[in-house]
Structure 1
């Protein structure tokens, strides 16, 4: 695996003058895939925080109205706000380096972190501050290093400007052990976090009063044994991560109850699957198939276990101390995470690799070699293990900031974030204001130079071939305009039909960023839009914003609220609901059922009439539901009164299977979660079930070997997920097709034994 070693907000080298794929010189555009937007379907809010960055300049923050700016990275793990000094860890010879400060005597007032927050307040930007949780911070403003050559002997590499500072490895590459952590650092506890928050609150107000709103629970603690091995040479295990989170997060909440916390701030997919201790041990011994720390915790992967522990804290103490489940992601495909755009194959791979954020059919083209589905994976984990927790990716970087290919990729990523319902994302680090990747953000945040922005309510947008043309759409609440972003990932100019449902007719404004002018977004000719849509031409290697105003006289009246839902048939994993129908001046198009958990709601089912069965629930658990109605124009009613209903009890001591499907005409995606409810581990499993309808077929599957004969389906375990400890779960799935109807299978067996739902 590849560790990220970036540290500070370094400006990536601008390569605007590099070779850019030229627009096609053909006289006629090639036919492109069909695009479709349905304003009445798939509606959900887009969090503004998905457009965040790390260490953005004031100029860029003001220009794009940056919603949140993060103070993060390896250097913040041992940042001492009192003396304004960082330790650069393995990124730069484990050195303490004080920040430039014109008045050190006034510290902690006027520190680098103070200046960061002040700049954010000046641009109306929220702050995400990293709080050290490792137990050490830089001891003073004197420069020092963790592995002095004079003290610990010759080393493999030394700082050319401070030759006594080594990289902590002997000349033969073996690590130096037994060094003294106090060479650079002083021990601190949770009180340090409370003092830091209190200082920021004193300077800028609390989270509810325009001060710091968000706090990261350190930075990538599962890599401390590598990045901060001068003070933490062993990996961080399950229990210690939990205990430190309990102590430090509670200290933050005690100092500012309105602040939001984000954890565990892992470095990538392996941060969900393995503890730092297992990553440390297995990187040396190859124990990945049976990591010892996981085995000591009933075989449960770290991510779901961590969420279970955070939920347990709230149940015991009556206080939520984790608000966001935060995991970083850096593409591991060759050449993708690079400052340079790379050759044509690398650029194609960069554009393709964004599918790891959502696509269950995309097998990651790296050592991961399996579907990642990062955002749905994280969402499913919080929904199952700690409902109401939001999902964040506070570091990501797809490279090529100075190249058009990087801008196309970034525009695709921002569209995916909004469509998939991510709650926060922060690019590491921010681009320069004139780099192409900055223009990808402008497409969504300031496409016209006057504050024109992508909408804040996502609506359904589909492409017949997202590898060629990707489309994202959202309705803007301020003026009702429909905004559409189309990313042409090919070197050809493409002409495609764009069908619209529930949208206005009229004239749309068109803005484009492309190789024709890398210095900015260019206004194009207006696009006439008819009753069913339009035909658009999209330049080669371009990002296009289409803005369709809401038409005069358009339906703006929402349906009345539905009646309070009533529970009908109840099973161990489903509840049938019905309610009094809504009325509308034009007509009700459908209903959406939402599960309420704390202060958040999650859509769990939709129907065209006043009844539906909600599936995929846990047994013997209470759920709160509300229903909303929508009309053909996309207007949404107020929520119905709440219903609290409980699923049926399921006997213990058996396997359990939860089956959930997301359907569309002729196709569906199914996610199947298998739980070992017995007292003994399962080594290798075969799941079997029958489809109720002969027209249901399994297509591309993942995380299991899928087979179908007639209506009978089997799924055999893979090498990496075949062992299920008592109480452990694994999720598998497939894309399928259907004709006639698509009912849910109701009877499952695991290794020949009947399973409960």
Structure 2
């Protein structure tokens, strides 16, 4: 089917670049940094298990960072719902396992629970509950904490890393520390801690971590120097995971409303979680990022995007997935497509 783009503004704190308008098998595809979860369809299928390892830590006087463990294997989870007391405050895609709850009151104790949702829309039991107290509000605080000291890292098996770093200082106190992997926040701990364990990693994979300090007024320090390490391979000498590139990648083109579109289809790589984001490269350059705002396909995926109005233009295209541990997987095989010409690519 034909698709078209329309620009939309950011909403809910999510930077949304554009939305792909079109319905395929009843799902809306969205190019966005986040999106709403689905509603319970009441079909009464077997619900997913309760999320394990739920934690909550105040990030500032008005925010709390809620985090939980990823399930092992294929648990069929497509999303999570986070509750403050009995009020749902966030929906999180199945490939993620944390959220910052904002708009809270200073000096207040909150209780949080997390529930998982499966592909049938069934909600599982709540994990937790966990509690966190926001610190007191700070008036007219414009000074950020000092930069954390250089972190140190030690592998804790093939799928976890122990991090430690030098303490930051702040005129009114450090409320929390953010841990970033490759520039993406993946964890948060209280301001009294200077160590953390990062889990859900892949064996035989190189990672880079930095740390930022945050005060009660949400002032954020500069990121620390980076620490890099490679997780050990599994005992059998392998990475312990399936290849990370999408397979069965095919590319063709079609014409609609006087313009040409590339039509892509592929099978997602196997991973410990649902893959919701892909990066597409066209002619050797990043073309767009694709994220499913609703239910991400667990089987074969399809996508079409605009390339121009000229016939006879040859394009090279490939794509890769952002894996549940935050790293990018390997690129698919590259396909060549000429607009206006029937394409017959070989399977990868």
TM class by smaller structure: 0.3 to 0.5
TM-score w.r.t. length of structure 2: 0.40
TM-score w.r.t. length of structure 1: 0.21
Comparing both chains, which one has the higher relative contact order based on Cα–Cα distances under 8 Å and sequence gaps of 6 or more?
A: 2
The structure whose residues are more often strand, as a share, is 2
